[in-house]
Structure 1
Amino acid sequence: MSIIGLSQTFLDSAHFTKFRDFLHDACGIYLAESKQYLVTTRISPLLSHHNFKDLGELVQELERNKYSPLRDIVIDAMTTNETFWFRDTYPFEMLKSHIFPELAGQKSSINIWSAACSSGQEPLSISMAVEEYQRLSPKKLVNVNITGTDLSPSMLKIAKAATYDQMSVMRGLSVERLNAFFDQLGEDSWRAKAQVSRRINYRTLNLQDSYGGLGSFDIIFCRNVLIYFNNELKLDILKRIHRNLNPGGVLFLGASEGLAGASEFFEMVHCNPGILYRAK
């Protein structure tokens, strides 16, 4: 069946509502009615591949077998994995100019969490910032541990391999950083050097689940993901992130994201440009 044919029977309102409820329960993402086109675009090829006649059949299968690999495939298809290197610039500059020098004099070990890290560009950017700081500063960092988490197994597979094509490395990565921190494997393939990737540990994590096993952190990046959740879930995530931050620890959110009612847990700090949040 063609995608055009699928789309004609695809958007039964009851089926869409059930699918929206599944996605919200599975990963916290809320789809507005206006996002029906997104479901059609991303799920129609999947229906054809797995021989489901419509969205309703897919939802029935997901409800019948909650631990099927199909669940991860569907979440993968609906998750926006838009990412690039050194996004917004200022968080990484703040690390090098203020946060690392402050922590270097206080701690023998620094723990950083990159939540919803997608295919690894953010944790690798953090690690490159560590390398750049170490080269220029007399106050060295003794030990930096970076934890990258995401709910998508396919994205984490890419992150762990730390290998990217030309289109990927062009998105925010300067030629200087590419030459300094990556090895070219072929005409269209670059892999992060061991000195950059070895301090990163990747784990599968749904932000709706417990963070208890992650440990405590001095710095947390949770950027450009809260915008996909409703206010209640945003607040819950921020409260739990606060419990994983050491006193005075730093939280970076996305440029269009705010505290969603969690201001009693964090102090806003203007960086000129940008904003960071310190745990109270």
Structure 2
Amino acid sequence: MLNQAEPGSPAGKIIDISAAEYQAIQQFLSQSCGIELGDSKQYLVKSRLLPLMGKFEFSSFAELANSLQSASFSAQKIKSAVVDAMTTNETFWFRDERQFVELKDKVLPGLLNSKNGNVRVWSAACSSGQEPYSIAICALEAIKGSTKSRSVQIIGTDISEAILEEAKRAVYSEAALSRGMDSAAKVRYFHKNYDGYLLSPEVSQLVRFQQFNLLKSFTALGRFDLIFCRNVLIYFSDQVKRDILTRMADSLEPGGYLFLSSTEAMPIGLDSFELVRSGLTSYFKKIG
């Protein structure tokens, strides 16, 4: 059991988490959103969930674990808060910059020319919006100066409703912009206001956000020419990862592209994609 006082606990109390309580939280996250914590993430669970203890007036992790097993209406808010706390991850602008250069210079122009100027993009697990908005900026750069009709529709999904509300606001702090946004793009695409830096409607209007669980059917999302699914599959079991990638292949149009992070590999035996190497980066193309 952990025995360390941490900020966020009710009235500054020391709150321990037992093996059984940790296991209950593990099971909830695995079943509700596919996250596999492993057996040594107690500190992560405590640091993420302690702030919720005071908010929902829990005096122990046992009370929290019991709520996660309840089917009551009031428990749904607690479950959503736990998922939000455990799935909010680091993100920044143009993460893995070489992929975005490839996207702007080759992938998007090629798709626009072959798809009659209409391209649909899915940014899965988009967090606070930096990835889909980075894609949107690349799209604007790719079609700049074209005399032909061009349309790029981007859907950003995440399981966390709270983080999607941040994404929809499209307002970012100086610190957030310093993580990957160069000064020229900052001047062109952002306007300083009292709350931070507001993204230009020219960019934000290309993106629609939707709460979505990757364990659910993709059918309602429609079909895509390009899918970004980066730095999220690492949290899933091998079986869930394979299932998600198989369904993403089914959601892609023939010849569509899948971008994983530069450190992620396609599972052995999943033959729906071929690896595309270009310069110092790589991504995947649907076969067929």
Q: TM-score, normalised by structure 1?
A: 0.94
Report the Cα distance in structure 2 between the residues aligned to 1:150 and 1:241, rounded to whole angstroms: 15
Structure 2 Cα separation of the partners of residues 2 and 255 of structure 1:
44
Give the stretch that moved more between structures: 258-267 or 55-64: 258-267
Question: Does the Cα contact within 8 Å between 1:268 and 1:277 map onto a contact in 2?
Answer: yes
8 Å contact from structure 2 (residues 246, 270) kept in 1: no
Match of 2:7 in 1: none
Specify the alignment match of 2:244 in structure 1: 237
Gaps of 5+ in 2: 1-9
Say yes or no: does 1:199 pair with 2:206: yes
Q: Verify the 8 A CA contact 1:104 1:141 in the aligned structure 2.
A: no
Paired residues of 1:222 and 1:251 also in contact (CA < 8 A) = yes
Q: Which residue of the partner structure matches residue 63 of structure 1?
A: 69
Q: What CA RMSD, in Å, does the superposition of the two structures yield over aligned residues?
A: 1.6
CA distance in 1, matches of 2:51, 2:164: 23
Q: Residue 98 of structure 1: CA displacement?
A: 1.1
Q: Does 1:124 align with 2:130?
A: no
1:98 aligned partner, one-letter code: K
* TM-aligned CA deviation for residue 4 of structure 1: 5.3
**Offset, 1:3:** 4.9
On the 8 A contact 2:88/2:160 being kept in 1, the answer is no
Question: Following superposition of structure 1 onto structure 2, how do residues 112-191 of structure 1 map, counting pairs within 5 Å?
Answer: 112-135=121-144, 138=146, 142-186=150-194, 189-191=196-198
CA displacement 1:211-269 (0-9 Å, x = unmatched): 10111111000000000001000000000000100011000001221112353111011
Q: CA deviation at 1:139?
A: 7.2
- For 1:258-269, list aligned pairs within 5 A: 258-261=265-268, 263-269=270-276
Paired position in structure 2 for 1:14: 20
Are 1:99 and 2:85 counterparts? Answer: no
Q: How far apart in 2 are the matches of 1:141 and 1:93? A: 23
Q: Tell me which residue corresponds to 2:33.
A: 27
Q: 2-side partners of 1:76 and 1:38: how far apart?
A: 14
Mind listing any 5+ residue stretches in structure 1 that lack a counterpart?
none
Q: Deviations over 1:14-71 (max 9, x none)?
A: 1111110001111111111111110111112211332212212111112113651111
> Which residue identity lines up with residue 273 of structure 1 in the other structure?
L
SS, match of residue 5 in structure 1:
coil
Distance in structure 1 (CA, Å) of the matches to 2:147 and 2:113: 7
SS of 1:44's equivalent in the other structure is: helix
Single out whichever of 39-48 and 222-231 deviates more from structure 2: 39-48
| 1:216 matches 2:223 | yes
Find the residue that maps to 1:248 and give its secondary structure.
strand
Aligned residues: 275
Match of 1:49 in 2: 55
TM-score, with normalisation over the residues of structure 2?
Answer: 0.91
Distance 2:99 2:221 in 1: 22
Q: Distance in 1 between matches of 2:149 and 2:183?
A: 26
